[in-house]
Structure 1
Amino acid sequence: MKYNISRRKLYTLPFLLIGTWFFGQVGIGTLTPKGVLHVESNTMGVVLPKVDNAADVVTPNDSTAVEATFVYDLAEKCTKFKKAAQWSDCLLDDSGVRNSVSSILSVGTEFKVKKASAGYQHTLMIGQDDNALYVAGDNSDGRTGLGRTSGNTGSFLLNFASPLADASAGQIHSIAATVTGEVWAWGDNNVYRTGLGINTGDTGLPSKVAGFGTSETFGRAIKVQAGGQNSYVLTEDGKVYGVGGATGTSAAGPGTGAAATAFTEVSIAETVADISASQYTAAALTSDGKIYVWGLGTLGRLGTGGTANATTPTLISLPGGVAAKQVSMGWNNGTAVSADGKHVYRWGSGNSIGNSGTNLTTPTEISVPGFDQATDEIIAVATQRFDYGYGNLFVFTNKGVYVTGENSQGQLGIGNTTDVTNGLVAMTTTGVYNGTVFTGGSVGRQHTILTTGENTSNTTVSYVAYGMGAINYRQLGAITVQRRVPSVITK
């Protein structure tokens, strides 16, 4: 006998779940402490036991353990996931188990978001309260890390409860860095893009990448970026490591098929403070505000003054040699913000940067509507990272968000699906909490996620995530109707 409880009924059973947690070793239909949290497409069991060894766990009444089985392993003090008769590495710690139950019960409710990354057709979010990772969207290739390689995830579910410092959704894979500096990856392994040393198949669950962490070869990771065919890691000592195709680590250019099979240092003879990667390009920002770029050069998307590919990091200059505080690489354009927060520069495909179809091969200053350089500040910029239409650009200021480019799915948040090709226009704030200041965002193929950061004077607007654009793969989680204005993201 196997007891399953429908997902619809699960939300009415908090006492049973709480009892399972506090009383530990619980089984259904047996006197021995066995059981599982059994997840299927339409049903979910409710027993999450503590066991001496995950390998000994069976379902109630000693039937064979099924796919999507979670248990708490006392020997390693963490939760593990079983799929196709193979146990994963540790996924959740003690607090993570509690968080996973909370995540199940709170689907559809608002939650606080510290960071967000919009991928090709999936979304990753780091929760503000627990630094854990929540995912939604397309499960193809294992890119959500939920152990699935098909279908969509329609609400933001917990996939990684170890506290994270950063996470990045790529085209068909994902990568994350823990607060201890470890790197974990999942999704499509082709071209070695996950850094797991595999050139085929999918990794449906988060797996640890060798070399990163305290006392490891490369040291502690502090930021990660997942591109199209590659991944990048920035370490606390200011070095960049790349893996996969066209990483800037060799003479192999984009589209050649050549790839770095393991993480290799990208040669930049300066301390790097930040990195940015898109489907075809990447950039590094040094501690003194210099910008190095590499990748595909067509359309002027590298800002080098021409359209040639750059197979190794190439220095570009902002007008007047000013220093930068941020660089954001889009799939067909790039954008940078000056160190003083008073100027924003663009290059690449003309329509995506509001230049009426005329491409720019070098960084050129863009005018922000109503911007007063004496009193206003450009907080951040974000560009569309993956190939769709002709791309777009977001500029975040203390007065509002200004946008241009592709808008066929409502991803610009201006209330319609009309493209903007000339200049910047203000994003609508209909439905946005009063007092909200957007501090950044991430632009996927057809959807956009905006974040607010912390507001100590108004906690209501702190760490709230908003989304707009396509929902065909449930990129916005519980939102099931296409949104053309910023809408609060829920679990």
Structure 2
Amino acid sequence: MEEEAMEVEAPSGLHMGEVTSPVRRVLLVSAGASHSVALLSGNIVCSWGRGEDGQLGLGDAEDRFTPTQLSALDDHGIISVTCGADHTTAYSASRAELYSWGWGDFGRLGHGNSSDVFTPQPVKALYGLQIKQIACGDSHCLAVTMEGEVQSWGRNQNGQLGLGTVEDSLLPQKMHAFKGVRIKMVAAGAEHTAAVTEDGELYGWGWGRYGNLGLGDRNDRLLPEKVNVVEKMVMVACGWRHTISVSASGELYTFGWSKYGQLGHGDFEDHLVPHKLESLSSSFINQISGGWRHTMALSSDGKLYGWGWNKFGQVGVGDYIDHCSPIQVKFPQSQKVVQVSCGWRHTLAVTERNNVFSWGRGTNGQLGLGESIDRNLPKIVETLSVDGSSGLQIQAAKVDQSSGRSWVSPSERYAVVPGEAVSYNLHFSSYPASGFHELIISLLHLCLRTLSD
């Protein structure tokens, strides 16, 4: 689950509009459940990994094992990209337009319906708004405007939209609960949401079973409620069922689910209120990211730390053991890290030398390495890295991207990956009347996903 700020500082003095040759440098990366997206200098967007729900935006349902240019967004002036679990968004400040694509169930794309979209389409309800930050969770999204107002849309069965109801919203709706309060940033988990105000207050709402709202209990909240914190907060991120925040003094706090050690406190115990991560108290944390069951934190001196679920090597420390305390992730030539993003089972990072690294689950090509194997140490993504480019060119999409929607047979989209429980996505709007057997297939996958939790 990722929350990407619009005001991106380009590494090594790079300007947002600069185009380099032959390598365009990566300004921003974002990781979803099993796909990845990057924003390059020159406002170029690339995507790779699983494509079965259209989340790559390339006009088909094919996986891509190396970064592929999303040419439909060329010349759109994109300044930010954000992955949800199985959908993606991109924002153009010059056009004041947000685009979304991928899995459409529950209205998470904001287009007024639940249809899947296979190429970027504008969210018409937000047209003209100047947006400073987007957050995408498992199946809901939020946008923060320059004025500090919040719009939310998508799934809402636990109140994660903060609208005071449990009804899904197919279109963005303004959150009136924050009237008179300027929001700095928001973060979206699977079914919960968090926000930090310009005054440093922390709020939580939505699903709270594991204490992931930080409110001292396990109850859901349909409206934002202030979290009791001892310091002013400047940053927040959500994992699937846990939350991470950073104070103005650079201290890191975590709370919520910790079955896999994703809170980092040296144990596997849930915390119902924010708990300071003492092991990183000597570091000033300036960036955080939450995965499905793992966490990453980046310090001001460029050191990256990871902990939590590590079945596929997504912590990046050379093993497949879950870690309940932070461990530093090492990079070749001790490169400093400038940006990190956690997917469900994989992780992406950008270093100060303009190199992109990936590690963790690779079965759908989400690592961008041209293969489908897992990696437990950072591996350079050749086509996106200055040190590893060797003149390689970014692949261009070879599909017709003129139409936004496409239907793909669920029997094709839910092929079983050996040795792994499959995604639980249910695309009820896609099934023809005669497709009952395909619906049963998807229900079986839902059962497998539930058991895997």
Q: TM-score range by the shorter chain?
A: 0.7 to 0.9
Matched, 1:238 2:138: no
Amino acid paired to 1:377: F
**CA drift at 1:399:** 5.7
Matched, 1:380 2:303: no
* Contact 1:175-1:225 within 8 A present in 2 as well: no
TM-score, length-normalised on structure 2? 0.73
Give the corresponding residue for 1:172: 86
Closer/same/farther in 2, CA of residues 379 and 479 from structure 1, 3 Å limit: farther
Structure 1: distance between partners of 2:302 and 2:172: 41
Structure 2: distance between partners of 1:121 and 1:307: 29
| Structure with larger RCO (C-alpha < 8 A, sep 6+) | 2
* Contact 2:162-2:205 within 8 A present in 1 as well: no
Q: Could you say what secondary structure the match of 2:363 adopts?
A: coil
1:320-331 correspondence runs (5 A): 320=230, 322-331=231-240
* Contact 1:249-1:265 within 8 A present in 2 as well: no
Provide Cα deviations, 1:374-428, integer angstroms capped at 9, x if missing partner.
Answer: xx422222111x4xxxx1121211262222110111111101111112x222222
Give the corresponding residue for 1:50: none
Structure 1: distance between partners of 2:336 and 2:237: 20
**CA drift at 1:488:** 1.9
Provide Cα deviations, 1:60-119, integer angstroms capped at 9, x if missing partner.
Answer: xxxxxxxxxxxxxxxxxxxxxxxxxxxxxxxxxxxx9xx9xx99xx8xxx6521111100
**CA drift at 1:250:** 2.9
Give the corresponding residue for 1:443: 342
* Contact 1:231-1:242 within 8 A present in 2 as well: yes
Matched, 1:113 2:26: yes
**CA drift at 1:171:** 1.6
Give the corresponding residue for 1:405: 308
Provide Cα deviations, 1:203-243, integer angstroms capped at 9, x if missing partner.
Answer: 11100111334xx3xx2122222222212111111111011
| Number of residue pairs matched by the alignment | 352
Q: Who wins on radius of gyration, i.e. which is larger?
A: 1
* Contact 2:130-2:145 within 8 A present in 1 as well: yes
* Contact 2:164-2:222 within 8 A present in 1 as well: yes
Structure 2: distance between partners of 1:439 and 1:310: 35
Amino acid paired to 2:339: G
Matched, 1:486 2:394: no
Q: Could you say what secondary structure the match of 1:207 adopts?
A: strand
Choose the corresponding residue for 1:223, options 116, 128, 133.
133
Choose the corresponding residue for 1:192, options 99, 107, 111.
107
What residue ranges of structure 1 are gaps of 5+ in the alignment?
Answer: 1-95, 453-460
Q: Could you say what secondary structure the match of 1:353 adopts?
A: coil
* Contact 1:165-1:223 within 8 A present in 2 as well: no
1:91-490 correspondence runs (5 A): 111-127=24-40, 129-148=41-60, 150-159=61-70, 160-161=73-74, 162-180=76-94, 181-199=96-114, 201-213=115-127, 216=128, 219-246=129-156, 247-253=160-166, 258-266=167-175, 267-269=177-179, 270-318=181-229, 320=230, 322-341=231-250, 343-350=251-258, 351-355=261-265, 356-368=267-279, 372=282, 376-384=283-291, 386=292, 391-397=293-299, 398=301, 400-421=303-324, 423-429=325-331, 431=332, 433-434=333-334, 436-452=335-351, 461-480=352-371, 481-490=373-382
Amino acid paired to 1:323: K
Structure 2: distance between partners of 1:131 and 1:315: 37
**CA drift at 1:479:** 4.2
**CA drift at 1:478:** 2.8
TM-score, length-normalised on structure 1? 0.68
Provide Cα deviations, 1:315-350, integer angstroms capped at 9, x if missing partner.
Answer: 1122x2x11111111111111111122x11110122
Provide Cα deviations, 1:253-299, integer angstroms capped at 9, x if missing partner.
Answer: 4xxxx211211012313111112112222222111111112121011
1:28-39 correspondence runs (5 A): none
Amino acid paired to 1:145: G
Structure 2: distance between partners of 1:234 and 1:185: 16
Structure 1: distance between partners of 2:99 and 2:303: 35
Amino acid paired to 2:330: T
Structure 1: distance between partners of 2:353 and 2:234: 23
* Contact 2:186-2:195 within 8 A present in 1 as well: yes
Structure 2: distance between partners of 1:437 and 1:179: 29
Q: Could you say what secondary structure the match of 2:178 adopts?
A: coil
Closer/same/farther in 2, CA of residues 325 and 249 from structure 1, 3 Å limit: closer
What residue ranges of structure 2 are gaps of 5+ in the alignment?
Answer: 1-16, 384-453
Structure 2: distance between partners of 1:381 and 1:232: 18
* Contact 1:176-1:183 within 8 A present in 2 as well: yes
Structure 2: distance between partners of 1:443 and 1:175: 16
Provide Cα deviations, 1:187-218, integer angstroms capped at 9, x if missing partner.
Answer: 1222111001112x3111100111334xx3xx
